[in-house]
Amino acid sequence: MEKKWFTISIYSENNVGLLNRISGIFLKRHINIESLNVSKSEIQDVSKFTVVVFMEEELARKVVGQIEKQIEVIKAYYHEDDDTIYQESVLFKIASNLLFDERQIQNIIKDSNATIVTVSRDFFVLAKTGRKHEIDEMYQQLAPFGIMQFVRSGRIAVTKAEMPISSILAAFKK
């Protein structure tokens, strides 16, 4: 089976220690987590993990099964990129002189819809939000000029299909 990118979404109780349990499931199977984001969800007191991994679908299914087994996990899903709407955020720190001396950099900023967060004497900071490949492209374009610092957030994603967490929670109560 071929490997693909999967976004694993986990709805859970907001509990200390759960991150440890979930990351342990990936660790045991030697799965590299490409990115990880944890935040509040649309439901009060329910957290959402968004984990990006590159693996075979069969394994994704098994991993989701193991994750759902954890007591505090309400529900977990895996999705291919096409089934989600997702974004990542990124910050580039670049030497200030380049902003004025390199026309090309000004074009990259314009074309990529990046915003300038701050400019100081020594450096300026660019922020961009977008899909993985857009961010990869921008990185490729800027790299030749020299990037002082580069940092990228975990992916956040919503799915095209419904995730009926509220009704699952209601069913648990019964």
To other proteins, the closest distance from the beta carbon of 164 in angstroms equals 14
The nearer residue to other proteins, 46 or 158, going by C-beta atoms, is 46
To other proteins, the closest distance from the beta carbon of 13 in angstroms equals 5
The nearer residue to other proteins, 74 or 135, going by C-beta atoms, is 74
Strand partners, 84: 159
Residue with tokens 């007191």: 45
The nearer residue to other proteins, 125 or 169, going by C-beta atoms, is 169
The nearer residue to other proteins, 9 or 12, going by C-beta atoms, is 12
Binding site for other proteins (CB under 8 A): 12-13, 16-17, 20-21, 24, 28, 61-62, 65-66, 68-69, 71-74, 169, 172-173
Alpha carbon distance 57, 75 (integer Å): 18
Q: Where are the beta strands (DSSP E) in 41-165?
A: 46-56, 73-80, 84-95, 115-119, 123-130, 149-152, 156-159
To other proteins, the closest distance from the beta carbon of 75 in angstroms equals 8
Angle, helices 18-28/57-69, rounded to nearest 10 degrees? 150
To other proteins, the closest distance from the beta carbon of 173 in angstroms equals 7
User: Token digits for 116?
Assistant: 């300038």
The nearer residue to other proteins, 43 or 148, going by C-beta atoms, is 43
**Helical residues (DSSP H) of 14-131, grouped into ranges:** 18-28, 57-69, 96-101, 103-112
| Residue 143 DSSP symbol | G
To other proteins, the closest distance from the beta carbon of 168 in angstroms equals 9
| Residue 71 DSSP symbol | T
Strand partners, 161: none
